[in-house]
Amino acid sequence: MMTKRLYILIVGLAMNVVAFAQSSLLPYKNPVLSVDERVKDLLSRMTLEEKVGQLLCPLGWEMYEIKDDEVHPSEKFKRLMKEKNAGMLWATYRADPWTKKTLENGLNPELAAKAGNALQKYVIENTRLGIPLFLAEEAPHGHMAIGTTVFPTGIGMAATWSPVLIEEVGNVIAKEIRSQGAHISYGPVLDLSRDPRWSRVEETFGEDPVLSGRLGAAMVIGLGSGDLSREYATIATLKHFLAYAVPEGGQNGNYASVGTRDLHENFLPPFQEAIDAGALSVMTSYNSIDGIPCTANYYLLTQLLRNEWRFRGFVVSDLYSIEGVHESHFVAPTIEEAAMQVVSAGVDIDLGGNAFMNLTHAVQSGKISEAVIDTAVCRVLRMKFEMGLFEHPYVNPKSATKVVRSEEHIRLAHKVAQSSIVLLKNKNSILPLNKKIKKYLDEIAKTEKKIADLQQYLRGVQAALKQEEDNEMIRCIRGMKMENGQLYDLLDGIQNGTIKFQVSRESAPLYSQKKIRRNIRMVKWKKMNKKMAGLLLGVMMLFTASTTAFAYVDESAEASKVETIQTEQSTDKEEK
């Protein structure tokens, strides 16, 4: 009996401690309260500058520094938070020529998770209100980052005609993004591509609104259906709103000549279907429709999207598209005016630019009401509370290495790639194919076999070079340029043993000084050392892409019945 009473006493005491702790929390930090109550409390505590900061989404790949196996916030990130109070970042984990992030200086999955944790920790501990960051990542056909699973592009996934497969793809993308500490996935792309001149056709699901809608909805369901309480749910961002893929002249960002009926029958339904499936973010497009930039189109972004479709998420501009309202469309005399037009039309997030920084001055000077800013901020904060970032801002970096690009994910990517292959049967010659098509296919097959043979030669080259690298009789001739036709003639000659390179006695040795002129003799002969023929062929194919031929030559061989063609070239740079 005493034991039972003691147990009840301990439980009651624990409950009182928890209740006291919760009561001492600021309301917006109290998970017991509703999302509405927490948003209202937090908004009431924010300055105008802090509110505007939540609407900014700067480029993220310069916001971290890698030291050994740890990741730390960069000085640029610290200045950003001090000066702008940014509420989210885009493409923090991205690696490509634009970002200048590579395998050497970029983030693998474990480091990406550490980077996300480090940025969150800094924001939570070093800003006045400790509002966690949103990290948005590009992910139309897999998370665009190092070491992730890559699926076929949109047009390839569309060729599967399988919503079931695409839902699985969405599930993988969501798992890989969330396990690395990011929250927002940019994709799917629901543009209807009806002009082959447009430069981004491969990103889309094609030209058909029904297929695009079905696959877009399937992707959103895989990404979490908008239920942000789920461990691996992301905020799916639909791209690009609207009629982006049919620009005049096929030029990216040009105006779209689309009628109202065409918009409602074809271009809008895929977006509506994906929003009904749970998409919580929409990205505007660069183009204009009927003279109104889509980034500043009140009818599309407020009247249709929110009032008619009951969309409850947030709208993000495309990269620098707010500046484009002033600089490209010329419908706003200043960047500040462009920012006011856009936020009033229904855009909540400024991606990559600084246009929304002008909203602080616009409010202070009475040009726009602070209530407009509050509306946009509430949409962002609501998503952060629903996702549980205030309670669980961090991820486990070790789990990222197990989840990202797992064997299961790789198998799915392979399955989707296989399913995207479409074979056409030309029954009753319905397709206008040339009768000589078999001849062309045979030529392709021969070419493929030749490529395979050359790859085998290359492997032999690597082994031969290892054996011969210390032999003084092997010399390198650099700088010879030739047309592709000549190159293939030369390769044929080397392969059948009728052509050999020989270095003239007066030519310079390997690693000579710059701008030395060389005499190269192309020599034909009857017999040739097969090993050296393979060696020459392999090394030359290794550098075919730059059409620069390298030849490794055995000078001790004797040539007979020679025809010589002399070529002179100079080089400005030593090759390694």
Per-residue pLDDT in tens (0 to 9) along the chain, 576 residues:
556 555 555 555 555 544 444 557 999 999 999 999 999 999 999 999 999 999 999 999 999 999 999 999 999 999 999 999 999 999 999 999 999 999 999 999 999 999 999 999 999 999 999 999 999 999 999 999 999 999 999 999 999 999 999 999 999 999 999 999 999 999 999 999 999 999 999 999 999 999 999 999 999 999 999 999 999 999 999 999 999 999 999 999 999 999 999 999 999 999 999 999 999 999 999 999 999 999 999 999 999 999 999 999 999 999 999 999 999 999 999 999 999 999 999 999 999 999 999 999 999 999 999 999 999 999 999 999 999 999 999 999 999 999 999 999 999 999 999 999 988 888 888 887 777 777 877 888 888 887 777 777 767 766 665 555 444 333 333 333 444 444 445 455 555 555 444 433 333 333 333 332 333 333 333 334 444 455 455 544 443 333 333 333 333 333 333 333 333 333 343 443
Give residues with Cβ within 8 angstroms of 286, minimum separation 6.
240, 244, 252, 253, 294, 295, 318, 321, 324, 328
Torsion of CA 169, 171, 176, 182, to 10 degrees: 120
User: What's the one-letter identity of residue 70?
Assistant: E
The per-residue pLDDT for 515 is 32
The residue type found at 298 is Y
Q: What per-residue confidence (pLDDT) applies to 267?
A: 98
Give the whole-angstrom CA distance, residue 537 versus residue 491: 6
What pLDDT, on the 0 to 100 scale, is given for residue 157? 98
Catalytic residue among 41, 191, 208, 318: 318
- Residue 472: both structure tokens together: 């003084």
Which pTM value belongs to this model? 0.75
pLDDT digits (tens, 9 = 90+) for 249-299: 999 999 999 999 999 999 999 999 999 999 999 999 999 999 999 999 999
**How far is Cα 148 from Cα 137, in angstroms, rounded to an integer?**
12
CA atoms of 545 and 525, how far apart (whole Å) = 27
pLDDT at 467: 59
Name the pairing type of β-strands 499-503 and 288-289. unpaired
The pLDDT of residue 431 is 80
Cα separation, 171 vs 572, in Å, equals: 52
Please, are residues 280 and 226 in contact by the beta-carbon 8 Å criterion? yes
DSSP 329: S
**Is 318 known to be catalytic?**
yes
Who's near 125: CB < 8 A, 6+ residues apart?
none
Per the prediction, the chain carries an average pLDDT of 83
Backbone φ and ψ for 136, nearest 5 degrees, come out as: -100, 135
Maximum Cα interatomic distance, the chain, rounded to a whole number of Å: 113
Stretch (H or E) spanning 457: helix 437-468
The pLDDT score that the predictor gives to residue 114 is 98
